[in-house]
Amino acid sequence: MAVVGDPTKIDLAVNAKIQAFLGKLPSEPYPFPIDDAARHRGEAVYQTNCAGCHLSPAGKPRNELVFDVGTDPLRSQAMGTLAASLLSKVLMSICPQTQPECAFGPEGPVVDPSTHRGYVATPLPGAWAIAPYLHNGSVPTLRQLLVPSLRTTSPFLRGRTSYNQADGGWEWEPQKEAAMRAKGDVALALHDLGQAGFSPVGHGSDSNPRLVDGQGKSVRVVWSNSAEDKRVVDDLIAYLLSL
Ligand code: HEC
Protein backbone atom coordinates (compact mmCIF):
# COMPACT_ATOMS: atom_id res chain seq x y z
CA MET A 1 0.00 0.00 0.00
CA ALA A 2 1.37 3.37 -1.01
CA VAL A 3 2.12 5.64 1.98
CA VAL A 4 3.93 8.44 0.18
CA GLY A 5 2.49 11.31 -1.81
CA ASP A 6 -0.87 12.98 -1.42
CA PRO A 7 -3.28 10.54 0.33
CA THR A 8 -6.32 12.09 -1.36
CA LYS A 9 -4.89 11.12 -4.73
CA ILE A 10 -4.43 7.42 -3.91
CA ASP A 11 -7.04 5.29 -5.66
CA LEU A 12 -7.69 2.68 -2.95
CA ALA A 13 -9.85 0.39 -5.08
CA VAL A 14 -7.26 0.21 -7.86
CA ASN A 15 -4.45 -0.26 -5.32
CA ALA A 16 -6.33 -3.15 -3.68
CA LYS A 17 -6.80 -4.82 -7.10
CA ILE A 18 -3.09 -4.42 -7.92
CA GLN A 19 -2.10 -5.94 -4.55
CA ALA A 20 -4.46 -8.90 -5.06
CA PHE A 21 -3.11 -9.44 -8.59
CA LEU A 22 0.53 -9.30 -7.46
CA GLY A 23 -0.22 -11.73 -4.63
CA LYS A 24 -1.55 -14.31 -7.10
CA LEU A 25 1.41 -14.22 -9.49
CA PRO A 26 3.31 -17.53 -9.50
CA SER A 27 6.98 -17.52 -8.55
CA GLU A 28 9.63 -17.91 -11.23
CA PRO A 29 10.20 -21.68 -11.68
CA TYR A 30 13.67 -23.07 -10.92
CA PRO A 31 15.44 -23.11 -14.31
CA PHE A 32 17.67 -26.18 -13.75
CA PRO A 33 16.88 -29.91 -13.43
CA ILE A 34 15.81 -31.33 -10.04
CA ASP A 35 16.18 -34.96 -8.93
CA ASP A 36 12.55 -35.94 -8.47
CA ALA A 37 13.13 -38.76 -5.95
CA ALA A 38 15.24 -36.42 -3.79
CA ARG A 39 12.58 -33.71 -4.05
CA HIS A 40 9.96 -36.20 -2.90
CA ARG A 41 11.99 -37.29 0.14
CA GLY A 42 12.76 -33.64 0.90
CA GLU A 43 9.09 -32.76 0.89
CA ALA A 44 8.47 -35.26 3.70
CA VAL A 45 11.29 -33.72 5.78
CA TYR A 46 9.85 -30.26 5.06
CA GLN A 47 6.32 -31.24 6.11
CA THR A 48 7.62 -32.61 9.42
CA ASN A 49 10.10 -29.90 10.32
CA CYS A 50 9.38 -26.69 8.44
CA ALA A 51 5.73 -26.39 7.44
CA GLY A 52 4.66 -25.69 11.03
CA CYS A 53 6.17 -22.20 10.71
CA HIS A 54 6.40 -21.51 6.96
CA LEU A 55 2.67 -21.88 6.29
CA SER A 56 0.64 -19.63 4.07
CA PRO A 57 -0.30 -16.53 6.12
CA ALA A 58 -3.95 -16.52 4.93
CA GLY A 59 -6.32 -15.82 7.80
CA LYS A 60 -3.69 -15.94 10.54
CA PRO A 61 -3.23 -13.06 13.00
CA ARG A 62 -0.04 -11.35 11.90
CA ASN A 63 1.69 -11.81 15.26
CA GLU A 64 1.48 -15.58 14.83
CA LEU A 65 3.67 -15.38 11.74
CA VAL A 66 6.53 -13.88 13.77
CA PHE A 67 9.11 -16.14 15.44
CA ASP A 68 12.30 -15.39 17.31
CA VAL A 69 14.65 -17.99 15.85
CA GLY A 70 17.82 -16.38 17.22
CA THR A 71 18.72 -14.43 14.08
CA ASP A 72 20.32 -10.99 14.34
CA PRO A 73 17.88 -8.90 16.44
CA LEU A 74 18.92 -5.40 15.31
CA ARG A 75 16.32 -4.83 12.61
CA SER A 76 13.49 -6.27 14.71
CA GLN A 77 14.28 -3.70 17.40
CA ALA A 78 13.87 -0.78 15.00
CA MET A 79 10.29 0.02 15.97
CA GLY A 80 8.86 0.63 19.44
CA THR A 81 5.32 1.13 20.79
CA LEU A 82 5.28 4.87 20.03
CA ALA A 83 6.57 4.53 16.46
CA ALA A 84 4.11 1.70 15.80
CA SER A 85 1.13 3.75 17.01
CA LEU A 86 2.22 6.82 14.99
CA LEU A 87 2.61 4.72 11.85
CA SER A 88 -0.81 3.17 12.55
CA LYS A 89 -2.35 6.66 12.67
CA VAL A 90 -0.73 7.68 9.38
CA LEU A 91 -1.97 4.52 7.66
CA MET A 92 -5.50 4.86 9.08
CA SER A 93 -5.69 8.47 7.86
CA ILE A 94 -4.76 7.38 4.35
CA CYS A 95 -6.87 4.24 4.46
CA PRO A 96 -9.82 4.60 6.91
CA GLN A 97 -11.37 1.33 8.08
CA THR A 98 -14.72 2.47 6.68
CA GLN A 99 -13.30 1.69 3.23
CA PRO A 100 -13.77 -1.98 2.23
CA GLU A 101 -10.16 -2.07 0.92
CA CYS A 102 -8.82 -1.10 4.36
CA ALA A 103 -9.97 -4.04 6.48
CA PHE A 104 -6.90 -4.32 8.69
CA GLY A 105 -8.50 -6.73 11.15
CA PRO A 106 -8.64 -6.32 14.93
CA GLU A 107 -4.87 -5.78 15.20
CA GLY A 108 -5.04 -2.59 13.13
CA PRO A 109 -2.60 -1.78 10.33
CA VAL A 110 0.57 -2.05 12.47
CA VAL A 111 1.16 -4.66 15.18
CA ASP A 112 3.07 -3.27 18.20
CA PRO A 113 6.23 -5.38 17.99
CA SER A 114 7.64 -4.54 21.41
CA THR A 115 6.23 -7.58 23.23
CA HIS A 116 6.82 -10.14 20.48
CA ARG A 117 10.00 -9.49 18.55
CA GLY A 118 11.34 -11.65 15.78
CA TYR A 119 10.85 -12.02 12.05
CA VAL A 120 8.10 -13.33 9.82
CA ALA A 121 8.43 -16.94 8.69
CA THR A 122 7.42 -16.24 5.10
CA PRO A 123 6.03 -18.90 2.76
CA LEU A 124 8.91 -20.06 0.55
CA PRO A 125 7.76 -20.13 -3.11
CA GLY A 126 10.63 -18.99 -5.33
CA ALA A 127 13.07 -19.65 -2.45
CA TRP A 128 15.76 -20.64 -4.97
CA ALA A 129 15.99 -17.10 -6.34
CA ILE A 130 15.97 -15.02 -3.16
CA ALA A 131 19.47 -15.91 -1.85
CA PRO A 132 21.27 -14.69 0.18
CA TYR A 133 18.96 -15.75 2.98
CA LEU A 134 17.43 -14.34 6.17
CA HIS A 135 16.09 -10.81 6.68
CA ASN A 136 19.65 -9.46 6.56
CA GLY A 137 20.75 -11.52 3.55
CA SER A 138 23.69 -12.86 5.54
CA VAL A 139 23.59 -16.56 4.60
CA PRO A 140 24.52 -17.08 0.94
CA THR A 141 23.10 -20.58 0.28
CA LEU A 142 20.36 -22.93 1.45
CA ARG A 143 23.05 -25.46 2.40
CA GLN A 144 24.70 -22.93 4.74
CA LEU A 145 21.32 -22.12 6.28
CA LEU A 146 20.67 -25.80 7.03
CA VAL A 147 24.29 -26.63 8.02
CA PRO A 148 25.53 -23.80 10.29
CA SER A 149 29.05 -25.30 10.54
CA LEU A 150 29.43 -24.42 6.83
CA ARG A 151 28.31 -20.80 7.18
CA THR A 152 30.82 -18.25 5.96
CA THR A 153 31.86 -15.56 8.43
CA SER A 154 33.92 -13.56 5.90
CA PRO A 155 32.56 -10.91 3.54
CA PHE A 156 30.92 -12.56 0.51
CA LEU A 157 29.80 -11.43 -2.93
CA ARG A 158 26.29 -10.37 -3.80
CA GLY A 159 24.94 -9.49 -7.21
CA ARG A 160 26.25 -12.43 -9.23
CA THR A 161 24.32 -13.98 -12.07
CA SER A 162 25.75 -17.51 -11.88
CA TYR A 163 23.95 -20.10 -9.77
CA ASN A 164 25.27 -22.78 -7.42
CA GLN A 165 22.84 -25.65 -8.06
CA ALA A 166 24.41 -28.01 -5.53
CA ASP A 167 24.01 -25.64 -2.57
CA GLY A 168 21.01 -23.55 -3.67
CA GLY A 169 22.01 -19.90 -4.00
CA TRP A 170 23.91 -17.46 -6.18
CA GLU A 171 27.68 -17.94 -6.35
CA TRP A 172 29.23 -15.97 -3.51
CA GLU A 173 32.95 -16.75 -3.12
CA PRO A 174 34.98 -13.50 -3.21
CA GLN A 175 37.98 -15.25 -4.78
CA LYS A 176 35.91 -15.74 -7.96
CA GLU A 177 35.28 -11.99 -8.34
CA ALA A 178 37.86 -11.27 -11.07
CA ALA A 179 36.65 -14.19 -13.19
CA MET A 180 33.03 -13.13 -12.77
CA ARG A 181 33.74 -9.51 -13.71
CA ALA A 182 35.54 -10.79 -16.81
CA LYS A 183 32.34 -12.71 -17.69
CA GLY A 184 30.25 -9.52 -17.44
CA ASP A 185 28.97 -9.54 -13.81
CA VAL A 186 29.09 -5.81 -13.12
CA ALA A 187 26.77 -5.41 -10.11
CA LEU A 188 29.03 -7.22 -7.61
CA ALA A 189 29.26 -5.93 -4.04
CA LEU A 190 30.77 -7.35 -0.85
CA HIS A 191 28.34 -8.16 1.96
CA ASP A 192 30.35 -7.46 5.11
CA LEU A 193 29.12 -9.72 7.92
CA GLY A 194 31.04 -7.60 10.44
CA GLN A 195 28.59 -4.70 10.11
CA ALA A 196 25.96 -4.12 12.81
CA GLY A 197 22.84 -6.14 12.05
CA PHE A 198 24.51 -8.46 9.52
CA SER A 199 25.42 -11.39 11.77
CA PRO A 200 24.74 -14.77 10.05
CA VAL A 201 23.51 -16.55 13.18
CA GLY A 202 20.28 -18.28 14.15
CA HIS A 203 17.53 -20.41 12.56
CA GLY A 204 19.00 -23.20 14.68
CA SER A 205 22.60 -23.86 15.58
CA ASP A 206 24.89 -26.85 16.06
CA SER A 207 24.40 -26.69 19.82
CA ASN A 208 20.63 -26.31 19.45
CA PRO A 209 19.43 -27.90 16.20
CA ARG A 210 15.74 -27.77 17.14
CA LEU A 211 13.08 -25.03 17.27
CA VAL A 212 9.51 -25.00 18.55
CA ASP A 213 7.19 -24.48 15.57
CA GLY A 214 3.88 -22.65 15.27
CA GLN A 215 2.01 -25.74 16.52
CA GLY A 216 4.17 -26.04 19.65
CA LYS A 217 6.06 -29.04 18.21
CA SER A 218 9.84 -29.40 18.62
CA VAL A 219 11.31 -29.78 15.11
CA ARG A 220 14.77 -30.17 13.63
CA VAL A 221 16.03 -27.28 11.50
CA VAL A 222 19.79 -27.83 11.20
CA TRP A 223 22.06 -30.73 10.35
CA SER A 224 25.77 -31.49 10.46
CA ASN A 225 27.98 -32.01 7.43
CA SER A 226 28.32 -35.78 8.00
CA ALA A 227 27.63 -38.09 5.04
CA GLU A 228 24.40 -39.29 6.67
CA ASP A 229 23.09 -35.76 7.35
CA LYS A 230 24.22 -34.59 3.91
CA ARG A 231 21.69 -36.93 2.29
CA VAL A 232 18.84 -35.32 4.25
CA VAL A 233 20.08 -31.81 3.46
CA ASP A 234 20.46 -32.63 -0.27
CA ASP A 235 16.85 -33.88 -0.31
CA LEU A 236 15.59 -30.80 1.50
CA ILE A 237 17.47 -28.49 -0.89
CA ALA A 238 15.98 -30.35 -3.89
CA TYR A 239 12.50 -29.73 -2.47
CA LEU A 240 13.14 -26.07 -1.57
CA LEU A 241 14.45 -25.38 -5.09
CA SER A 242 11.21 -26.75 -6.54
CA LEU A 243 8.93 -24.34 -4.64
C1 HEC B 1 10.08 -21.88 14.61
C2 HEC B 1 9.67 -21.54 13.27
C3 HEC B 1 10.48 -21.99 12.10
C4 HEC B 1 10.77 -23.30 11.71
C5 HEC B 1 10.39 -24.59 12.41
C6 HEC B 1 11.50 -23.18 10.48
N7 HEC B 1 11.66 -21.87 10.14
FE8 HEC B 1 12.60 -21.16 8.48
N9 HEC B 1 12.38 -19.29 9.18
C10 HEC B 1 11.70 -18.90 10.31
C11 HEC B 1 11.81 -17.48 10.50
C12 HEC B 1 11.21 -16.65 11.62
C13 HEC B 1 12.61 -17.01 9.43
C14 HEC B 1 13.07 -15.57 9.18
C15 HEC B 1 14.30 -15.32 10.04
C16 HEC B 1 15.05 -14.07 9.66
O17 HEC B 1 14.86 -13.58 8.52
O18 HEC B 1 15.85 -13.59 10.46
C19 HEC B 1 12.93 -18.16 8.61
C20 HEC B 1 13.68 -18.11 7.45
C21 HEC B 1 13.86 -19.17 6.58
C22 HEC B 1 14.45 -19.08 5.27
C23 HEC B 1 14.98 -17.81 4.63
C24 HEC B 1 13.86 -17.03 3.99
C25 HEC B 1 14.34 -15.72 3.41
O26 HEC B 1 13.47 -14.90 3.06
O27 HEC B 1 15.54 -15.47 3.31
C28 HEC B 1 14.44 -20.33 4.73
C29 HEC B 1 14.94 -20.74 3.33
C30 HEC B 1 13.85 -21.21 5.71
N31 HEC B 1 13.51 -20.47 6.81
C32 HEC B 1 13.72 -22.57 5.55
C33 HEC B 1 13.31 -23.41 6.58
C34 HEC B 1 13.38 -24.86 6.50
C35 HEC B 1 13.90 -25.63 5.30
C36 HEC B 1 12.92 -25.32 7.68
C37 HEC B 1 12.82 -26.76 8.13
C38 HEC B 1 14.02 -27.55 8.10
C39 HEC B 1 12.52 -24.18 8.49
N40 HEC B 1 12.78 -23.05 7.79
C41 HEC B 1 11.96 -24.27 9.75
C42 HEC B 1 11.01 -19.74 11.15
C43 HEC B 1 11.07 -21.12 11.11
pLDDT, tens only, 113-128: 888 899 999 989 999 9
- Prediction pTM value: 0.91
Domain finish residue from 117, 145, 176: 117
* 168 and 141 Cβ atoms separated by less than 8 Å: yes
Residue 13 lies in a domain: no
Helix (H, G, I), strand (E, B) or coil at 127: helix
Residue 145 lies in a domain: yes
Assess whether the C-beta atom of 145 lies below 6 angstroms from ligand 1.
yes
Residue to substitute in 41, 47, 50 for testing ligand 1 pocket (most ligand atoms within 8 angstroms of CB): 50
* Residue 74 to residue 227: CA distance in whole angstroms: 35
pLDDT score at 204: 97
Distances (CA, A) of 37 to 31, 34, 79, 217, 234: 18, 9, 45, 27, 11
Whether residue 109 is found in the same domain as residue 188: no
Q: Give mean pLDDT, residues 155-181.
A: 93
Report percent pLDDT > 90 for the chain: 62
8-state DSSP, 133 = B
6 or 219, greater pLDDT:
219
Residue to substitute in 53, 116, 205 for testing ligand 1 pocket (most ligand atoms within 8 angstroms of CB): 53
How many domains, the chain?
A: 2
Residue 3 lies in a domain: no
* Residue 132 to residue 119: CA distance in whole angstroms: 16
pLDDT score at 1: 44
pLDDT score at 211: 97
Residue 157 lies in a domain: yes
Assess whether the C-beta atom of 159 lies below 6 angstroms from ligand 1.
no
Q: Give mean pLDDT, residues 125-149.
A: 97
Residue 143 lies in a domain: yes
Assess whether the C-beta atom of 30 lies below 6 angstroms from ligand 1.
no
Residue 134 lies in a domain: yes
Whether residue 63 is found in the same domain as residue 109: no
Does residue 56 carry a pLDDT above 80? no
Q: In the structure, what pLDDT confidence band is assigned to residue 2 with cuts at 50, 70 and 90? A: very low
Domain extent, residue 108, equals 78-117
Whether residue 207 is found in the same domain as residue 104: no
The distance in angstroms from the start CA to the end CA of the chain is 26
Whether residue 183 is found in the same domain as residue 82: no
Least confident of 2-6, 27-31, 101-105, 238-242: 2-6
* 149 and 225 Cβ atoms separated by less than 8 Å: yes
Task: Name the packing angle between helices 227-241 and 36-49 (round to 10°).
Answer: 90
Assess whether the C-beta atom of 138 lies below 6 angstroms from ligand 1.
no
Residue 15 lies in a domain: no
Report percent pLDDT > 70 for the chain: 96
Whether residue 161 is found in the same domain as residue 54: yes
Q: In the structure, what pLDDT confidence band is assigned to residue 5 with cuts at 50, 70 and 90? A: low
Residue 174 lies in a domain: yes
Q: Give mean pLDDT, residues 163-181.
A: 94
